[in-house]
A and B are shown apart, each in its own frame.
Chain A
Amino acid sequence: MQRRLQFLRRSEDEDIKDAGLVLDFDEMARKGVMSKEEKNVAKWYGIYASRQPGNHMARIVIPGGVLTSTQARNIAKVSEKFAMGKLNITTRTSIQLHWLKLGSLADIMRALADEGSTTRHGCGDVTRNVTACPLAETCRYRRFNVLPFAQRTARRLGDSHDLDNLPRKFKISYSGCGAGCAQPFINCVGAIAVGGREGSEEPRGFKVVIGGGMGATPFIAKELFSFVPAERMVDLTRAIALLFRDHGDRFNRSKARLKYVVERYGIERCREIVIENLRAEGVSTEGFVVEGFREADASYPDRPLAEEDTVGTDGSVTLRIMVPKGEMGHRQLKRVAELSEIYGDQRVRTTNRQNLELHGIPKENAEEVKREIRKIGLGTTGFYGLRDIVPCVGTTYCPKAVSETRALYDLLQPLVAQPKYAGIEKAAVINITGCPNSCSPYRIADIGFRGSRIREELGSTEGYEVTLGGTPERLGEVFGEFKRDDCPGVVEKILDTFIALRSEAESLSDCVLRVGAEPFKKAVYE
């Protein structure tokens, strides 16, 4: 392909984006090939190349993680027809279809659109799927329901075509309380509901943190405002997106995310720019509190998601469905959709631990629905605990991955299911990611695994960097690097040491914070 010499200090991706972000998938199907530039722009349509040559992945955007049962059935149908019947739930509550052929991509998008689903902005340098806490609507600890804010933000930013070409991806999450089940501190924008509980006269608003992110260099988000009136929260997300659009690095994509803007400028300068952006768009900043806002009742539990069979504020049960490795078959999703229609609120919810939820189940039907779920091979217990291991898709599908995360998942499951760990089952979570991109955010898990290859005397073997002591607000520290087959032994030593050292009901990460990593290292290496 000919090229124009420009000597511009910007990435090649910027050149490609400048040439236009529109593709004709029917034409590509006719041609039978996708050029390098088309592959790049296809991300805006939620289409990625798969590890397997000739195959593609489509990421369905599900703002807040809520699908109607009809949409769920439709996705199952599309999966059956085009994706070898498989579908994968992601840690940003999207659903990915793999094994897609180039010639089918346009048909897949049309088929999804039939029921109002889309892959648009599933990937690319745009606002990605806006997430909310899995229990946003009914959680008894929530300040208020943040789901509508997530959905409105997705709509507003998705419709803002001046935000179609950001320096990199832009991630927003909404949490209903300080427990941060939507992982606000590792998002570009984390909105945490404060005040405004039902029945209270306290104003509703959000504490807003920005500049978090995982990836190769993880950052914990910094507080931008300690209180933003709820009615201007969506406007604020746009103002932050404009900050990112105008000040993100367009040369070095590895340092383009908002977290680097915040690091480079400092939070004060970022705040000034955001306020300028708000004023330029006629949005009042009255009522914004930079720091020091205190809720009347600031209490929340440490790990609300660890509670089983949550009873919502509406008195109904929220049933969670454990999807091993986040991957399920089209028949399973179809059955879950049916169950939501028969017993629930005709919605299927995806969670950031790659599981599903059914809301609005009458208490009296809960056991029956669980049985039905177990019948189709999915689990109904162990959420947000040792057995709720979250692997990314790893080398099974992802071209970026270094390790086969699902193989480690299979090695660890029998280990953590041992009866000796029943007492600590809810005190630790394990995340496994296949590469430093951290699609499974390993640094915020009690035990994190990041794929690597370990050099041998000749050749190399699959291995993992292990981190210890992460929480949604605190990064785990690097513990060591181990060959894959050694990892179960390492986890066993860590958990055994944890049992020995545990004080009351503390989590593994709290224990590590209290006693340090040394006792664990001693146990592993000696």
Chain B
Amino acid sequence: MNYQYRKAPNPTEFSVFTGLGTAALDLKTLARDVPCQAACPAKTDVPAYIALISRGENEAAYRVNQEDNVFPGVLGRVCTKPCEAACRYAWTNAEGPVQICHLKRSAADRLKTPPTPLPPWFQETGRRVAVVGGGPAGLTAARELRRYGHRVTLFEREDHLGGMMVDGIPSFRLPLPTIEQEIKLITDSGIDVRLGSDVDRSGLAKLLESYDAVCVATGTMKAKSLDLPGIDGAEVIPGLRFMKQYNAGVVKSMKGDVVVIGGGFTAVDCARSCARAARRIVGADDRVTIAYRRTEHHMAAEMDELEEIRLENIDVRTLVTPVKAKVENGSLRSVVFQRNVMGDDGSDAGKPRIVPIPGSEFELPCSHLIVAIGQDAETEILPEGIALADRQQTAEPKLFVTGDFLTGSLDVIHAVADGKSVADEIDRFLVGEVRKKFHVSIELIDNDGETGRFRDHDLQEAPAMPLRSIVERAVGNAEVEKGLSDEATRVASSRCYLCNHKFEINQDSCIHCDWCIDVAPRDCIKKVSRLFVDEVGSPREYVQTDVAAEATYIYIDSDNCIRCGKCLRVCPTGAITMRKMERTACCSTKNAAGEVRWERLTARLDERKAARGRT
């Protein structure tokens, strides 16, 4: 008799049960299941480090961040948090996302042993690379190139490294020691640093001659100008210049009203710095006003920071555009603004359109006008005939560009991501092959589905970041955000769903008893009649049913899974497994037959370490 029944396929979201997943499906599953990591430009393994923090393993958590995003202490304070916007809490919980950024800082602030530079991945290649620009993108590129085994020289115009991290961000948001410590971790890995080296076009030409590759990461340092009738520009202070002076301690105090034009991070930082310089935050009469042409929702700052801005007695005027300035006796007296209204449709370079309101002009008195409407790259450095395109490698094969210099002003996390990717490109250019690639390491966790999470963890209130009082903020540049307490760190870290754990039902073992559905803490397991997968086999849609005969599959919807493991524990047939996935850097090896195999880079490093121990 033929009792081999025809069945619908047994879907699985990994190409292998355990081991290294090298298929497109594996990367897709990781990206879909771990949205924070997918959203992070630097692909930081967020659930991995949050799990470590919740266990008090701050050194290990820091190491994960150091590996992925280079500047954990910095980004734990000033990251723009694309991960939090993507966090699954955003659509499954009323308490807001897991405070990923704050947690990163919690680990960085609690290190008992100082961090050390990361080890190289490959042996010395003897190739020489020049990196121009010591900001986050340049520093990251330098570190990664060094790990590839290349000799790296880093040229920086200023007398210090750090770029915008040091010059552009006020120390009450990002203290200097934090930046310096993390820069040292990079330079200590064996990078030749040349401070005070202003590389211009001719200098770059020389570097191109003497190095195997050159990477320009000089950022955007040229302020965009604002043509405002009534002034010739001398009265206008570019935002970045103001921040640089403020951070250098040149701006001691200010007198008179200040207007800051712009809605980006620099505008907000300028205003907050002015408020301190003017002692405005404790109620001095001089006004500090941010004027922005769109609404608060279109500003770079988050609502939390805007709230702090108001507490610091900074006025935020939105939907206003400056139309002219008034100067009396050689001194700036006021700026005239026109009101705007949001346009119904259309967009202006990716932002909503605004429409000026005729006759709505009004005058805002001011003694200082800071314009922070963005910066451009100093492209004059590029050799003649070489223009910026959308690639990191330029028309001159040895010349690469990255970071803000290529993309325009973004933020630290994007600069880090760019620095990592340009290092990969430069290595491929120098060596002629892809030596490092990311695959997905898949590990079976055979512990009855215990992640340590219960439904209770989801229902906790997100702890608030403790802030320095307004009175304290007025004195010096003490950091406003004090960092989460131990207890708050414990609560915040235990909220994480640990999305890197994948619960999956082997449909060949499932008997449709529905016991998992009965114990499910939310609507995470469903009877499904049809499951639609995309071209790589990743489930995209399903048709749910309540009728046993129509149920082809019992399906765990990872989007709603809270990783509590109850389904696995109750499953009578062992059909449910829990596997942990991790984005893993791999290198390729070829066997005698010329077949390429991928192995984990960390495994290779461990082997090397063990070999050193033996000798």
Q: Name A residues whose Cβ lies closer than 8 Å to a Cβ of B.
A: 3, 5-7, 9, 215-216, 252-255, 400, 402, 435-437, 451-461, 465, 480, 482-483, 486, 489-490, 493, 524-526
Contacts and interface: CB of A to CB of B under 8 A. Distances in A.
Contact of A453 (B456, B457, B512): B512
Nearest to A486: B3
A480 B2 CA distance: 12
B507 interface: yes
Given A455-B507, A458-B552, A459-B550, A400 B515 contact: yes
A402 B530 contact: no
A434 B552 CA distance: 19
Contacts of B515: 400
Nearest to B545: A459
A398 to B, nearest CB: 11
Q: Which 8 A-B pairs have the closest CB atoms?
A: A216-B572, A452-B511, A436-B572, A453-B512, A5-B456, A455-B7, A459-B550, A252-B569
Given A7-B454, A7-B456, A455-B507, A460 B570 contact: no
Of the listed residues A252, A437, A482, A525, the one surrounded by the most CB atoms of chain B closer than 10 A to its CB is A252
Q: Which of A456, A459, A490 has the most CB of B within 10 A?
A: A459
Interface in B252-274: none
Given A400-B513, A451-B511, A458-B552, A524 B3 contact: yes
Nearest to A461: B549
Nearest to B448: A252
A307 B2 CA distance: 38
Interface residues of B, number: 35
Interface in B424-454: 448, 454
Given A5-B460, A255-B448, A458-B530, A525 B550 contact: no
Given A436-B511, A436-B573, A524 B1 contact: yes
B3 A480 contact: yes
A457 B7 contact: yes
B299 interface: no
Given A3-B456, A9-B454, 7 more contacts: A3-B459, A436-B511, A453-B512, A453-B551, A459-B529, A459-B551, A525-B3
Given A436-B511, A453-B512, A453-B548, A254 B5 contact: no
B8 interface: yes
A165 to B, nearest CB: 20
Interface string B499-532: 0000000011011111100000000000001100
Nearest to B458: A5
A460 B448 contact: no
By CB atoms of chain B within 10 A, which of A215, A460, A486 has the most? A460
Interface of B: 1-3, 5-8, 448, 454, 456-457, 459-460, 494, 507-508, 510-515, 529-530, 548-553, 569-573
Contacts of A7: 454, 456-457, 494
Contacts of A9: 454
A512 B89 CA distance: 55
A456 B6 contact: yes
A9 B452 CA distance: 8
Given A6-B456, A455-B7, A460 B551 contact: yes
A253 to B, nearest CB: 8
Contacts of A480: 3
B572 A460 contact: no
B3 A435 contact: no
A456 B8 contact: yes
A493 B1 CA distance: 10
B508 to A, nearest CB: 8
B489 to A, nearest CB: 15
B448 A483 contact: no
B552 to A, nearest CB: 6
B569 A456 contact: no
Contacts of A3: 456, 459
Contact of B8 (A455, A493, A525): A455
B552 A489 contact: no
A461 B570 CA distance: 22
A459 B511 contact: no
Given A436-B573, A489-B1, A460 B456 contact: no
A460 B552 contact: yes
B548 A460 contact: yes
